[in-house]
Structures are given as structure tokens and as C-alpha cells.
Amino acid sequence: MIQSVSPVKKLKGSITPPPDKSISQRAAIFALLHDGISEIKNYSPAQDPQSTLACVEDLGAVVTINEDKVTVKGKGRDGLAEPKDALDCGNSGTAMRLLSGVLTGSGVSAKMIGDASLCSRTMTRIIKPLEQMGAHILARNGGYAPLYVNRLDPLKPMDYELPIASAQLKSCILLAGLFGEEPTRVIETVPSRDHTERLLGLEVVEEVGKKIISASLKDEIPNQSYTIPGDFSAAAFWLVAGCIVPDSEIRLEGTGLNPTRNALLHLLHEMGADITIENERMEGAEPVGDIIVKSSELRAINIPQQMIPNCIDELPILAVAMTFASGISVISGAEELRHKETDRIMAIAEMLGATGVNFTEKEDGLEIQGNPEFSFGSATFKSFDDHRIAMASAILALKGSSESQILDADCAAVSYPGFWKDLTSLASC
Ligand code: S3P
């Protein structure tokens, strides 16, 4: 689908961001491992969480969907079924990486497949440590899906220091560790999103400069009955749009505020954004609140490298904010972006290049020459079939002087099926 986006004079109104993708996927997987019935409210209708739910069913859970409430009758750790067909993870790296951990731990053999984007993303980062834990994994070209995951040898719990700040890798190892008599301990030196340890209630020990998270058979898997918060990574598009479009005021109800996810809030504040938070509360194990953003004059920023994992999914839209901030902004230490749904450094460069913004692409990031007065006529943006690139391009397109086109825009549904409708609603208030 080609989506046309016209410039807007203002954005006004209140929206509830879609249910969090990362938390929905974890809720489904943890509910499978729980020996009982979980009622997950506000489960995400987006493609990635729906792929995960289908895999969880293939592994034996009984899933019933009633509007936005998903009921999962779990199998417990010892009751998982061998899937009849391949587990289809669609576009979701989270599904493939977390479920590989579950397969390794449980000893259930399965083939895992995904779409062209997922099959082009490296799985070496999970294959090596899972093999250390006793798995035998056959991967295309040594490191890519389809994967065949087997475990014939006994599970070997281990101490594992994360070589990259990745919540998917951390969660994969902890999920395998949940099946071990002895604890598996994951050592994290750069914080990444902590939904897994929160929602499973795992033991976390904080030491100077590191966090040690343990998982074993002794950990009870909690019932996953809670309401999924709004997705901060989806709200991020409106946070930036609200700042850069004049005369705007947007309220984002019930948005997740997990501190390991919301670095964008701190960065935008530092850039001069007018953002306030109301009604801070807890939704299960996760903090949420209502965020209000108003048009703001932004200044350039250099993102501290430690913060990159805490805004990794927001970097495409942050690059759009940087385009309208006075001065040179720098994203560095972000080579992980090259391993996302597409090579996002290349994709951001193409997006900015389509409008004539001044920038330099680096191996591990970008330098962007921002200007609050920056303007362009119209542009044709390629999404590279990456949801976050399609949506970031749409927000950038709001600042053109005539209608722009976003190619392959339907991929927004991977995380945010209502994105185009919400855009129309905010633009027409
Ligand atoms: C995710 C973790 C992040 C993020 C992805 C979802 C998760 O990846 O980019 O969209 O649900 O754990 P890494 O932390 O593995 O880089």
C-alpha cells in the first residue's frame, strides 16, 4: 500500500497508544509456561504479538480471544507439546529469540520460520549461548532462520555475561534457564528493557556497574493476568510529532513508562520539549501514565551511549526530531540498529536523504545538522517494509509543503495497526 501524507498545521487530541508489543509477547509466552489460566487484558492486535500467540498455541496452550481480552490456558514447564508444523514467528525477532530459549529449556524440538526480514537477521547471538546450555541448533548458513532447535544433552545452567545490550538475548537465556535445576545467571552491564525479569518476578541483584538476574526451576511462573500498558515506542511517534508541528497538543493516555524503555522522554526534555506526565500509576508490574506534549523549540543533542539500548526502537523517530532541532545532533554507538527489521541506519539515512536534510551516515550512527526552519517540498519515502521507518517517515512528511508518499506503508501494522487512523484523527481536530 502507498500511503499519502499531507502537511498539517497542527495536531490536537487525545489517543491511547496500542498495547505494548514487547509486553504482549512476553505475557503470551509466560502464560504458556504458567500452569493455569491467565487473562491478559488489552493484548495487542498487532502482527508481531499475534504471531507469538499463534506459536504459543502451537506449543500446546489453549487460547481464547474475546475482544481485547486473551485467555491462555498454560501448559506449565513440563507440559509443552511438540508443534506439528514449524513455529511461524512472522516478522518478530522477539518471538524467535525468546521461543528458542523456551525450546532449549524444555527440550521440545521444533523448526522456527519467519518472513524475509526475520530470515535475514542474525541468530548467532542466541545460537552460541544456547549451544553452551546443551542445545543443537541447525541454522541456515550457520546463523539465520529457519532454525531447527533440539536439545538431546541435559540442560546446562550457566553464568552468562551479555556481550551485547540486548533484551531479546537476555530473555532467551533466562527462559532456557527457567528449566534448570541449578540457576542460570545472566550478567548485564548495560541496562536493556527489563520486562522479562519484572513479569516473571526473577531475582535481580544490583552490583556496582552490573545487574545479575537468576532463573531456575525453583522460580514459580506467575499468572499473567494484567492489563497490557500502551506502547511507549508507539507513543514516541506522537511525542516527536507534537513537538515539531506548530500549535499542537497531544495527550497519550495509559502509556507505559518503564524506565528501561523511556530514555526518549529524557532526551526530548533535554532538547527543550514541553512534555508533562499525569496520573502515574502501576499496571501489574509496569509503570504507566498519561503524557501530554505541546509544540516546542528543540535544540540538538548528543545521545549518551549508555542510553542507546533504552531508546533503541525510538532512534528512527528521534532522528526526525533532530532534523528540526537547532545544531548538530549525534547518534553513535548504535550499530545494533543495523540488525533490526531492516538496517535502520541505512533506512534513516534514506529517509532523511529523501528530504534533503544535511546529515552524515556513520558505521554506528548518524550526525544530523538540524534546523527548526528546515522545510522541503514533498518526498517519496521507502519504508523498507519496516514498521518504525514507515511511521517515522509519516511524521517527517507532516513537515513538507505538499503531499508526500510512503511506500509499503501497511507494515505499520506490525506494531501499530491503528497508526494511520490515529494520524487522521489528530490532524483533523
Ligand atoms: C525487544 C528488544 C529490543 C527491541 C525489540 C523488542 C524485546 O531488541 O529492539 O523491538 O521485546 O525484547 P534488543 O534489546 O534485543 O536489541
Residue ranges per structural domain of the chain: 3-18+230-427, 21-155+169-180
Checking if the pLDDT of 84 tops 90, the result is yes
Q: Residue 350 — very low, low, confident or very high, per pLDDT cuts 50/70/90?
A: very high
What residue owns the CA closest to ligand 1's atom 13?
Answer: 166
| Domain 21-155+169-180 CATH class label | alpha beta
What residue owns the CA closest to ligand 1's atom 10?
Answer: 313
Beta bridge partners of 282: 287
CATH superfamily of 3-18+230-427: Enolpyruvate transferase domain (3.65.10.10)
> Does the beta carbon of 167 lie inside 6 Å of ligand 1?
yes
Q: Residue 254 — very low, low, confident or very high, per pLDDT cuts 50/70/90?
A: very high
The confidence score (pLDDT) of residue 261 equals 98
The mean of the pLDDT values for the chain is: 98
- Cα–Cα distance between 134 and 150 in angstroms, integer? 9
> Does the beta carbon of 168 lie inside 6 Å of ligand 1?
yes
Residues taking part in catalysis: 313
> Does the beta carbon of 336 lie inside 6 Å of ligand 1?
yes
> What are the Cα distances from residue 194, in Å, to 174, 353, 405?
12, 35, 37
Amino acid at 66: N
If one counts every other C-beta atom within 10 angstroms of the C-beta of residue 203, the result is 15
pTM score above 0.95: yes
How far does the centroid of ligand 1 lie from the alpha carbon of residue 194, in Å?
Answer: 10
Amino acid at 391: M
- Minimal CA–CA distance to 322: which of 422, 414, 396? 396
Q: Residue 68 — very low, low, confident or very high, per pLDDT cuts 50/70/90?
A: confident
- Tell me the Ramachandran region of residue 254: left when phi exceeds 0, alpha when psi lies from -120 to 50, beta otherwise: left
The confidence score (pLDDT) of residue 429 equals 79
The confidence score (pLDDT) of residue 170 equals 98
What residue owns the CA closest to ligand 1's atom 11?
Answer: 22
If one counts every other C-beta atom within 10 angstroms of the C-beta of residue 9, the result is 10
> Does the beta carbon of 312 lie inside 6 Å of ligand 1?
yes
- Cα–Cα distance between 221 and 376 in angstroms, integer? 53
pLDDT tens-digit readout, 134-187:
999 999 998 999 999 999 899 999 999 999 999 999 999 999 999 999 999 999
The confidence score (pLDDT) of residue 392 equals 98
Checking if the pLDDT of 67 tops 90, the result is no
- Cα–Cα distance between 381 and 396 in angstroms, integer? 10
Q: Do domains 3-18+230-427 and 21-155+169-180 have the same CATH topology?
A: yes
Mean pLDDT of 247-257: 98
> Does the beta carbon of 383 lie inside 6 Å of ligand 1?
no
- Cα–Cα distance between 117 and 196 in angstroms, integer? 25
Mean pLDDT of 59-74: 96
Amino acid at 300: A
If one counts every other C-beta atom within 10 angstroms of the C-beta of residue 86, the result is 17
How far does the centroid of ligand 1 lie from the alpha carbon of residue 341, in Å?
Answer: 11
> What are the Cα distances from residue 43, in Å, to 335, 420, 423?
31, 20, 22
pLDDT tens-digit readout, 205-218:
999 999 999 999 99
Residue at grid coordinates 533532530: 322
Cell of 82: 511438540
* Residue 306 DSSP one-character state: G
Pairing assessment for the beta strands 249-256 and 12-15 based on DSSP bridges: parallel
Checking if the pLDDT of 188 tops 90, the result is yes
- Minimal CA–CA distance to 96: which of 126, 62, 138, 137? 126
Do residues 216 and 223 touch, judged by C-beta distance below 8 A?
A: no
Residue at grid coordinates 521461543: 99
Q: Specify the ligand 1 atom closest to the Cα of 170.
A: 15
How far does the centroid of ligand 1 lie from the alpha carbon of residue 21, in Å?
Answer: 10
